[in-house]
Structure 1
Amino acid sequence: MTPFERRTRRVQSRLDDDDRLALSPGRSLYYLSGVDADPSDRLTLLLVPGEGDPTFVVPALEADGIRAATWVADVRPWRDGTGPDRVLDPLFGSLSPSRVFLADRMWATVSLDLRERLPEARFDLASEVLTPLRRRKDDRELDALRAAAEAADATMRDVRALGADAVGRTEADLASFVAERLESHGGTGVAFETIVAAGANGADPHHASGDRVIGAGDPVVLDFGTRVDGYVSDQTRTVVFDGDPPAAFADVHSVVREAGVAAVEAVEPGAVTGAVDRAARSVIESAGYGERFVHRTGHGVGLDVHEAPDVVAGGEVTLEPGMVFSVEPGIYLPDRFGVRIEDLVVVTEDGCERLNRTDRGWRC
């Protein structure tokens, strides 16, 4: 049994016999089938029953590639000249599901068509059955996440090695350097748009790398990641490449670093996500910067850059071995600078393992 089939059978154990899971292209479809497809105007749909084998409905021109990529044996192609109705009509004509769980990010055109075909069914989100499974990673997933984290670590070491040579580069130029090094260290592309935020731009947590030139003494927030076998890395460091940083920067950096340590120490099976957030936030609040910590402490990471569980104030998700999430406290001072330090951690049987191990200091 492949890992993909094993996951599908686990999902089915959470469904009633007359339930159906309907997935369009996306990370959840890959999670169960092994098919990495992008949404398009041509319908691709995976139907998973509560009992029995799943069915793929796919464009004919992609059928051979999908058959080669998946363990699912029942692949039903449709042709452009006739459209998918000739496949869907007999398939849905034999269905009378009580509930249909739709992919959370399914195109509205597809979900509305399914609602018209199954007017008596109750419709819910696929995350209701998938999230409890996806947030606990198996050994294969953890291996991929570790490899992606190592590619990010190696890239950060390359970035630090630039030292004073980074001064005079633009943010966008350094972001391109990061992308090239991620690929060279075994990653596949960037997992999200790389953030290089110099000086006052660092006070924007989601700054888009632009044409600002990095100067001596500028704090630079670097947030980046890559993919390995579909799984992502996500690491942030805040550094100064050369010169003296602004007043208070070293103290703020120390507070953020201490908050990250406190949060990681709070990670263990049985703890709740809110306690991890509280551990980081209390350090920052005690230092007088509570209002400048403007986001959650972390988010789950896997096939998606942001997935369950959220490590957020008041979070009530109980931590279990195999959960992977970011720990990324930050302080953002408008018109001055920002500091964020982010590592990924995996919950273990007796605590946690950091997946990122590079220097967290600010001096290059």
Structure 2
Amino acid sequence: MPEELLQGEVYRRVQGLQRRLQAEGITAALLTQSADILYYSGTCQSGHLYIPAEGEPVFMVRRDYEQARLTAALKNVVPLRRFGEIPGILSGFGLPVPEVLGCECDVLPVSIYLRYQKLFPGTRFVDVSGFIRQQRAVKSPYEIEILAESGRRLDQMLATVPRVAEVGRTEVEMAGLLEGEARRLGHQGLVRFRGMNYDFFMGHLLTGPSGAAPSSFDGPVSGLGLDPSFAFGAGWRRLKADEPLYVDYGFAYRGYITDATRVFVIGELSGRLARAHAVALEIQAAVLEAVRPGVTGGALYELAVAMARKADLADNFQGWRQPVRFIGHGVGLELNELPVLAAGVEETLAPGMVFALEPKFVFPGEGAVGIENTVVVTANGVERLTNFPDGIYQLR
């Protein structure tokens, strides 16, 4: 991408945060989380990004300074040898000691927070993570263009499932082959997930009952993994005929993630699973039809729950032992961004928001079925970014 285009994009983001800081009476924000650094600088190097309410940001880079100097879209990029140099560096740029300093309190380690307090003993610290997440929820045309390409590559990835699926193969073998195809297509490997202990891999490929095995992951479907050390995703179970092959992956391209789920089968699914999948498609269609700027995430969730209840499938909707109470989540630089389509959410949708809608049904002892697609909110509704066919894909 041309350097001037990235610089313009980054400075629009910085200015958006600065307007919010000014409105809230916050002197500056001091950011260190990787996704936020990437969003407001254009690069992902380790350091501390100081964004004053007015004026030029200062990116103090621990490592690698030379890479940051070459790739950051900001003017003030300096090396940081020791943590204690931060106040002196800021003073050298004519920036006063902040009276009120904003931090990413949702993800900032307490140890770093306490060190910030020692550096600025007279400063009042506030949480600006909500402002950042709200700003990042609405994507620019530049971001939507990258997300659209991410979605196209995710479609290509799903199209390779028939080549890797085979009765008798283990989940982890099929997952490895599929993930190799993803890397060949340009998947960056890392799927960022905001929050503590939200360990996440590229996605999960699960067979039959594995799709109904709940674990610590906060989603409708999880899988037990290879062992309890990381209870997530593909395990050692082998694919059988006439059972669901559940494939749920994100595709991370140039930092931006799209998310999709499809169900495949070698043979034919039972009537109950096939019917539940058909209901999931009906829920998807109804929710997407209802999406408009101004509608709340809570209203869309209640619409989906009502349809599951009407189909007499409420007990299996979004999980079975501990069902989650959401049907959609924002995506972007991280997999769990705003907006959230969940119970009680009063925040409204706006044009430019991008989310993954995932109505699913889980049956203990049988597996999981359902659908997931990434969409962008427009002035009149939605536009899909993932377009691999939605129906149950019969392999052979």
Q: What TM-score comes out, normalization by structure 1 length? A: 0.91
Cα distance in 1 for partners of 2:149, 2:118 equals 44
Deviations 1:253-291 (A, max 9, x none): 111121111111111112111122122221111112213
Aligned equivalents of 1:275 and 1:117: distance in 2? 45
Structure 2 letter corresponding to 1:185: L
Q: Tell me, what secondary structure is at the counterpart of 2:44?
A: coil
1:219 aligns with 2:249: no
Q: Is residue 2:72 matched to residue 1:54?
A: no
State the secondary structure of the residue aligned to 1:15: helix
The residue type equivalent to 2:171 in the other structure is E
Deviation at 1:172, TM superposition (A): 0.8
Letter in 2 for 1:182: A
Cα 1:18/1:344, change in 2 over 3 Å:
closer
Q: Confirm or deny: 8 A CA contact 1:171 1:211 kept in the other structure.
A: yes
Give the paired residue count. 352
- Percent of aligned positions with the same letter in both sequences? 31
| 1:309-363 Cα shifts (integer Å, max 9, x gaps) | 1110221111111000011011111122211310011001111011111111113
Structure-1 residue corresponding to 2:346 = 316
Equivalent position SS for 1:115 = helix
C-alpha distance in structure 2 between counterparts of 1:185 and 1:34, whole Å: 23
Contact persistence 1:329–1:342 (CA under 8 A): yes
Superposed displacement of residue 19, structure 1: 1.5
Q: Which residues of 2 match residues 74-223 of structure 1 at below 5 A? A: 74-79=76-81, 83-89=82-88, 91=90, 95-103=96-104, 104-160=106-162, 166-189=166-189, 191=191, 192-204=201-213, 205-207=221-223, 208-223=233-248
Task: Tell me if structure 2 keeps the 8 A contact 1:197–1:209.
Answer: yes
Measured on the aligned residues, the alpha-carbon RMSD in Å equals 2.0
The amino acid of 2:53's aligned partner reads G
Q: Is the 8 A contact 1:182 1:190 kept in 2?
A: no
Question: Aligned equivalents of 2:205 and 2:306: distance in 1?
Answer: 27
Paired amino acid for 1:326: A
Q: In structure 2, how many angstroms separate the alpha carbons of the residues matched to 1:48 and 1:143?
A: 27
**CA displacement 1:47-92 (0-9 Å, x = unmatched):** 1111111112222x5222111111322233233xxx3323435637
Q: Do the aligned partners of 2:87 and 2:97 also contact (CA within 8 Å) in 1?
A: no
Q: Secondary structure at the match of 1:30?
A: helix
CA distance in 2, matches of 1:335, 1:251: 17
Structure 1 pair 50–285 and aligned structure 2 pair: CA distance change class (3 A): same
Aligned to 2:267: 243
Question: CA 1:141–1:90 in structure 2 vs 1: closer, same or farther (change >3 Å)?
Answer: closer
CA contact (8 A) 2:38 2:44 kept: yes
After TM superposition, the structure 1 stretch with the greater mean CA deviation from structure 2, 248-257 or 302-311, is 248-257
Partners of 2:33 and 2:107 within 8 A in 1: no
Which residue in the other structure is 1:255 paired with?
Answer: 279
TM-aligned CA distance change 1:30 to 1:190, over 3 Å: closer
Give unmatched runs, 5+ long, in structure 1: 39-43
**Deviations 1:168-210 (Å, cap 9, x if unpaired)?**
2211111112212222333322633321111111113111201
| Corresponding residue of 2:43 | 35
Q: CA–CA distance in 2 between the matches of 1:358 and 1:217?
A: 22
**Matched AA of 2:87:** L
User: CA separation in 2, counterparts of 1:200 and 1:247?
Assistant: 16
Contact 1:179 / 1:190 at 8 angstroms: preserved in 2? no
Secondary structure, counterpart of 2:160 in structure 1:
helix
Q: Is the 8 A contact 1:18 1:96 kept in 2?
A: no
Residue among 305, 326, 344 paired with 1:281 = 305
Contact residue 84 and residue 119 of structure 2 kept, 8 A: no
Deviation at 1:107, TM superposition (A): 2.5
Q: In structure 1, give the amino acid aligned to 2:44.
A: D
Which deviates the most, 207-216 or 272-281? 272-281
Q: For 2:159, what is the secondary structure of its paired residue? A: helix
Distance 1:302 1:199 in 2: 30
1:148·1:225 contact (CA, 8 Å) conserved in 2? no
Match of 1:41 in 2: none
Q: What displacement does 1:98 show?
A: 3.2
Secondary structure in 1 matching 2:187? coil
Q: Could you tell me which residue of structure 1 aligns to residue 364 of structure 2?
A: 334
- 2:381 pairs with 1:351: yes
SS, match of residue 269 in structure 1: coil
Tell me how far apart the structure 2 counterparts of residues 53 and 260 of structure 1 sit (CA, whole Å).
Answer: 44
Q: Map 1:262-301; keep pairs closer than 5 Å.
A: 262-293=286-317, 294-295=323-324, 296-301=326-331
Q: Distance in 2 between matches of 1:84 and 1:281?
A: 50
